[in-house]
Amino acid sequence: MKTPRTNSREKILTAAAAVARENGPGNLSLDAVANRAGVSKGGLLYNFPTKAKLMQALVENYLKEFEHALEVESAANSKESLLAIYIRLSTRECEKTHPSASWIFSAVAEDPDFLAPIKSFRRQLFDRLKAETPDLNALLVAYLAIEGMRSLNLFDFDLLSEREREMLTSSLLEIVETGPVPPMRPCRLSK
């Protein structure tokens, strides 16, 4: 029986992810990706006409992988809430070392639509969490804390130690698992 061949687009994305991991996404070169994928630069440009389009596809691929991990964890842990699974997966993701995300700014400058898949994914995920989480206050606290931790990590401002990340995760899971959080009072800024 023949094993299915990966198409050139998948090979290019796999190669681009490897090059980005090794050199940092900001140092991703089309030549290095083409060499790693075993395709010509013309073949790479046929699939991804610009470096920005390649970067956008990498981000979309990452989002699909995160969504898949969320589904797998949900199926394996049917008694755990989707919000708790999201907290655990996101915390694990934040434990990984990432190169600085300054490349995002150049990608956005080249193609303002670069962030569209991220915005769409985040909106859909938040809406899904909102639909499945009975306590909106707990969701808001947990979601924004995790996204804050993710942003710190992404921009290499990770201020939290491993122990502090563990404490945050435990606190968020406790909030999610213990039931309703008292309503938040509006924030008043002093003059």
* Average pLDDT per consecutive 10 residues, the chain (191 residues; last block may be shorter): 63 86 76 91 91 84 89 90 92 72 63 81 94 92 92 78 90 84 61 56
Q: Are residues 45 and 80 in the same domain?
A: no
pLDDT at 1: 45
| Predicted TM-score of the model (pTM) | 0.74
- The CATH number given to whatever domain includes residue 20 is 1.10.10.60
The CA distance from 140 to 137, in Å, is 5
Q: Are residues 58 and 29 in the same domain?
A: no
pLDDT at 124: 95
For residue 154, give Cα distances in angstroms to 30, 42, 53, 165: 23, 32, 20, 15
The CA distance from 191 to 189, in Å, is 7
Q: Are residues 27 and 44 in the same domain?
A: yes
Residue 128 lies in a domain: yes
pLDDT at 139: 94
pLDDT at 3: 44
pLDDT at 12: 92
pLDDT at 140: 94
Q: Are residues 44 and 72 in the same domain?
A: no
pLDDT at 50: 85
Q: Are residues 69 and 21 in the same domain?
A: no
Q: Are residues 66 and 99 in the same domain?
A: yes
pLDDT at 100: 53
For residue 151, give Cα distances in angstroms to 58, 97, 118, 158: 18, 13, 13, 8
